[in-house]
Structure 1
């Protein structure tokens, strides 16, 4: 990741230094901040370090919650940094906390606040029950210092060190005495049907001194913590050396007081540079070998398909065209038309080039041509958006350090790419002979985005009812609608105007007035088996990468391997194109000329395998419980499946469209 980010910085630095009269340039939110000791600071060097808190989430629930929903210590002068659109859509809710430190001033066992719950108070009982629910579902804190996560690092299998960007509220020992989740780290957590609150944290902040590098102050390069459960006997003089854990019984029979404390230490580490300060988190996720295995697996599939397509294009197809043209020139001119068709040589050529027999019907407009053109227009919009987003992510502009940038970039690009969607849809609809251009434009602008928005709005209602922080505020929904109807829809109309103004796409052969009868098809050349088989190979290229993407979305793991993702994106384009071309050729050889919808559905069927894999992932990998979380998971999955269906279907269609135009344009037809 560090190399990708540095490459992006160097690319920006080159253009800025060549063409801009400014002295420095940084991406928003990624500028380094210098810190100095108290009394030595100035406007360019801060002395106080603020700790911000983000939403709390869990792998056992899709519902995240704001920090304030739980009864934790709050900042008296609470402030919220400005959040971009991507952060709001992802449900991030960053706010200030009462944990504030002065640079290089170690603190030992400082009390933050005390939360007391009276057994006779229904309100206190509700608050404590909510915290218990968070511990039972293993909800995780997410703290931020200097725009980087405060991590909890611990050893896992094979002495590997894993740095988790979150840490749990607490843990639970079940009624049968089994410690659950983080309770396994301490043998003192052994009382049945008891919750243990992590009410103390030991924070260690690492900094890089700038004296040797020629800049004032120091820059923070890492922040780690260790959560502990401590039962402080005296609230005014807390004792962090105590080994007695803070117990919260499952039955609320007595008053409960929880004292929250922290300790902080500073340590100089000049070996870590500010530009590579995320590496210690990412290195603990050893996925590189698996990614290379995925790439090699995908390349084998691509090489196989490429060989098949090359064989068709260079041998079989070339021979078909050559033989037909030879028959056309040597036999048809010399013999009467009635005898020419009975010539054995012509019959052989006719049998060997079955795809040639449907030249008069292959460009016959498809049924439901308007719907197909609408899907292709939206698919084009999604394809261009995905390509530009992944390309920028590869340069490091959309790294995890730039929070919400990935989603913001995708949404803004989609809004601005309404013009190609309208143009492609209108041009193809005109080619299909359609005349209801107003309906075509309106449906292109509203149909697929409307389905996505309706699903998204329904999911948002559930989040709102559940009180989750992921619920989108009403003002943001209005802003999204304004972007859609104020920018995307007018741009779609503009694109459609130019699309209808252009002449229809010229076909290389004429279409007969009477449709040709399609002969009886074998099982493998029937529409449904061909479509089902067409999605297998593209899905085989992406399923490993899909696992990490789903982990990032639902298991709250960081995704940063955009280089691998962009490479898999290119492989997916090639695989969808080649698989669709192969099946299209086989169907044309069987004299089945209904290729328009079939080419779209062949590669688009990959989305069905995506949905099947998402169902498998839900039941085998996730621990999600509750009807609301289940409904949300499948609701958001359906949005992903629809977008992927339009994306892959569009790739397959245009690859097949190019192939069919190519082979029929080189054949001489009377």
Structure 2
């Protein structure tokens, strides 16, 4: 027994050490640290000396159209490399490529020439390139550079002595004809010529690293990348000093313009910043971070308070009704009233039952996708450092969740007494995804026409269609097969053959006022988070507080359920038994408030101009609204469905 116990202990110890070693070596895909060494010293496969700077697409808060780096005629890499991009990056329009900015670790350089671009206004091609560059400066297009999978940030002081780190920096700025400096032109008093563009052709880059000399690993790891853009006029490209005046480009140049791009690079050691927390200085400096804690907690307290009130009213009122209706003596003595009177009609099949079943199937698919995606985001798998992971995860999950969509749609359609099961299956697989794809394709045509980098390549569109028809549609058929094969849902009460006449309703129990009021409370618990989500999409800010977002998601589910159940109870008490569609539309109406808020955000927060950008904004917003409509409507429907089944199975109705 002693020998066996010793062997068992050795086995447990070995397994523990192996598990600890595996856990200590685990990193998310694509997020493993990279070590850098001085060139010629300890350089090897696990420690590189060269640092490659990558460039991403350029975007602007004044235009929805992003463009690739090469479109603006910047300095290009002679040996251009494009790292492999996942599906989410392609759908989001990211276009990462190598740049001519290449450095050696700890090798500091001053005023290094990258390239020189010459523009002759009399030449048609040169004039077109220069006009496009000026248009980009006028619309405040931003560079997005990447070093070691980190954004190169531009950190500058803002009001109250705080520092803000922007994960992008402008290509230049513009001083209007009336002498008003726009955007980044306010930072330098030398930008004072009217109707003039100032291009930021010089960058001073600072790379911060954490040395591993005292921690047992070779080399160093980059923990920070910042830069300062400057506009410098180089009179002699062969004798650079980087101390001249700003590089100005007149709005209507008459002479030849020579534009030289330069950079300076320096390295700073900081062992207080760990590699795992190297993004913190970017995220903490976001302008909304300090106010978001109070705003979110305030919203959650209000929503929890209102939800508690709704739950208390429902429990107390319903408990009294059930107690009264189940008293035999009173039941024989008094006439039935309220929601019990409509027990013979409450489960009567709704009109347009097939369409409702289709919406419920797609809503179930969407709800499950959102829940799993947010849960994985809370675990850190979908952080901003893992580029494109959020969209990739959402698309893959949606494709793989076709089975629940087909199953729920088939079960509900069968419960409604439907017989056209082939039409139901096809529409479940094709209707809502088809609307979204058609909208997405039309937006993509506009992007193609505008030459934007956000345009999805034809091959990617084919791949998305292959995922839809090759995986999602067959899985929907499989789910529908099991849904139709399963026995029909049994209701707790029988349905009368002749429909009961509905008495005249008051204003508040009519369908439209109830539906409009039902979406207010759910929208109230999301509009704060909605502001930051729209900022991350349209103002190009990073969104990383997925823990709060998941909590708001749970609150939204609870609020949609309670608001729908409460209004459903009021309608049944008014002897209106048409609750099927009303339960779906009551919580689904939150999507209408979402659309109204998107219009308000567009008019008050964004500076977007141009017909193409406006169409793109509202086109993509409609996709969001449709998805949100299916998601919230399904929550309200099933909450009401369970509620109605429960109350009519508890009371005595015969």
**Whole-angstrom CA distance in 2 between matches of 1:171 and 1:622:** 19
Matched, 1:604 2:603: no
Question: Partner residue of 1:464?
Answer: 448
Residue 249 (structure 1) aligned with residue 237 (structure 2): no
Aligned length, in residue pairs: 638
Corresponding residue SS for 1:451: helix
Match of 1:213 in 2: 215
SS in 2 for 1:179: coil
Which residue in the other structure is 2:165 paired with? Answer: 163
Q: Is the Cα contact below 8 Å between 2:340 and 2:653 reproduced in 1?
A: no
1:346 is aligned to 334
Residue 149 of structure 2 is matched in structure 1 by 147
Structure 2 Cα separation of the partners of residues 331 and 235 of structure 1: 100
SS of residue matched to 2:267: strand
C-alpha displacement of 1:237: 1.4
Q: Distance in 2 between matches of 1:197 and 1:513?
A: 78
Cross-structure match for 2:274? 273
What displacement does 1:20 show? 9.7
State the distance in 1 between where 2:206 and 2:409 align.
57
Work out which of the residue numbers 491, 501, 516 in structure 2 matches 1:532: 516
**Local SS of the residue matching 1:254:** coil
Tell whether the 8 Å contact from 1:299 to 1:571 is kept in structure 2 after alignment: no
2:571 pairs, out of 587, 596, 615, with: 587
After superposition, the Cα gap between the structure-2 partners of 1:87 and 1:104, relative to the gap in structure 1 and judged at 3 Å, is same
Aligned partner of 2:56 in structure 1 is 54
Distance in 1 (CA, whole Å) between partners of 2:87 and 2:619 is 21
**Corresponding residue number in structure 2 for 1:370:** 354
Structure 2 distance, partners of 1:507, 1:393, is 39
Query: 1:19 offset after TM fit, Å?
Result: 10
Contact 2:324/2:330, CA 8 A, preserved across alignment: no
Distance, in Å, in 2 between the alignment partners of 1:142 and 1:126 is 23
Superposition pairs of residues 486-525 of structure 1, within 5 angstroms: 486-525=470-509
**1:290 Cα deviation from its structure 2 partner:** 2.5
The match for 1:107 is: 109
Could you tell me which of 556, 560, 579 is aligned with 2:544?
560
Q: Distance in 1 between matches of 2:18 and 2:390?
A: 26
CA contact (8 A) 2:303 2:555 kept: no
The aligned residue for residue 660 of structure 1 is: 644
**d(CA) in 2 for partners of 1:588 and 1:665?**
15
* 3-state secondary structure, aligned to 2:585: helix
Change (3 A) 1:238 1:322: same
CA distance in 2, matches of 1:623, 1:289: 23
Q: How far is 1:289 from its partner? A: 3.6
- Secondary structure at the residue paired with 2:334? helix
Task: Report the TM-score when normalising by structure 2.
Answer: 0.96
How far, CA to CA, are the matches of 1:173 and 1:26 in structure 2? 47
1:645 aligns with 2:629: yes
TM-superposed deviation, 1:636: 0.1
CA–CA distance in 2 between the matches of 1:360 and 1:591? 11
Partner-residue secondary structure (3-state), 1:430: helix
The CA deviation at 1:238 is: 1.2
Structure 2 match to 1:319? 320
SS at the partner of 2:215? coil
Q: 1:175 to 1:104 in 2, by over 3 A?
A: same
Alignment-derived partner of residue 412 in structure 2? 428
Residue deviations 1:27-71, cap 9 Å, x none? 111000000000021110000000000000000000000001111
Query: 1:546 aligned to 530, 546, 555, which one?
Result: 530
Deviation at 1:130, TM superposition (A): 0.3
Contact 2:560 2:636 in 1 (8 A): yes
CA distance in structure 1 between the aligned counterparts of 2:619 and 2:313, rounded to whole angstroms: 43
Query: Which runs of 5 or more residues in structure 2 are unaligned?
Result: 1-14
Return the offset for 1:21.
Answer: 7.0
| Partners of 1:49 and 1:101 within 8 A in 2 | yes
The separation in 1 between residues aligned to 2:579 and 2:508, in whole angstroms, is 15
Using the alignment, how far apart are the partners of 2:384 and 2:301 within structure 1? 28
Deviation at 1:23, TM superposition (A): 7.8
Q: CA deviation at 1:331?
A: 5.9
Quote the Cα distance in structure 2 between the aligned partners of 1:635 and 1:202. Answer: 40
Q: Structure 1 pair 201/474, CA: closer, same or farther in 2 (3 Å)? A: same
Map residues 447-462 of structure 1 onto 2, 5 A cutoff. 447-462=431-446
- Aligned with 1:230 (options 229, 232, 237): 232
Q: Residues 355 and 447 from structure 1, CA distance in 2 versus in 1: closer, same or farther, beyond 3 angstroms?
A: same
Instruction: Give the match for residue 31 of structure 1.
Output: 32
What does residue 44 of structure 1 align with? Answer: 46
Question: Shift in Å at residue 239 of structure 1?
Answer: 1.4
- CA separation of 1:50 and 1:297: change in aligned 2, threshold 3 A: same
The question of whether the paired residues in 2 share the 8 Å contact of 1:309 and 1:581 is answered with no
Q: Which secondary structure state, in structure 2, belongs to the residue aligned with residue 516 of structure 1?
A: coil
Offset of residue 288 of structure 1: 4.5
1:4 aligned residue: none
The answer to whether the 8 A contact 2:310-2:563 is kept is no
CA 1:24–1:301: 2 relative to 1, 3 Å: closer
Distance (Å, rounded) in 2 between the aligned partners of 1:186 and 1:431: 70
Residues in 2 aligned to 1:269 and 1:290: alpha-carbon distance in whole angstroms: 29
Distance in 2 between residues matched to 1:513 and 1:360, nearest whole Å: 9
- Alpha-carbon distance in structure 2 between the residues aligned to 1:269 and 1:111: 28
Q: Which residue, 133, 138, 147 being the options, matches 2:140?
A: 138
Mapped partners of 1:520, 1:628: distance in 2: 49
Whole-angstrom distance in 2 between the partners of 1:421 and 1:288: 41
Q: Secondary structure at the match of 1:205?
A: strand
Q: CA deviation at 1:575?
A: 0.4
Match of 2:87 in 1: 85
1:399 correspondence with 2:399: no
Pairwise CA distance, 1:157: 1.3
- Work out the CA distance in 2 between the residues paired with 1:283 and 1:296: 21
For the aligned residues, what is the CA RMSD? 1.5
Q: Which runs of 4+ in 1 moved over 4 A?
A: 14-17, 19-23
Q: Are the counterparts in 1 of residues 448 and 455 from structure 2 also a CA contact under 8 Å? A: yes
- Superposed CA offset, 1:515-572 (max 9, x none): 0000000000000000000000000000000000000000000000000100000000
> Which of 422, 425, 439 matches 1:438?
422
Q: 1:21 to 1:617 in 2, by over 3 A?
A: closer
Structure 1 SS opposite 2:265: strand
Paired residue for 2:123?
A: 121
CA contact (8 A) 1:601 1:649 kept: yes
Distance 1:199 1:19, change over 3 A: closer
Local SS of the residue matching 2:363: helix
Per-residue CA deviations over 1:188-228 (Å, capped at 9, x if unaligned) read 00000000000000000000000111100000000000000
| SS of alignment partner, residue 63 of structure 1 | strand
1:335 aligns with none
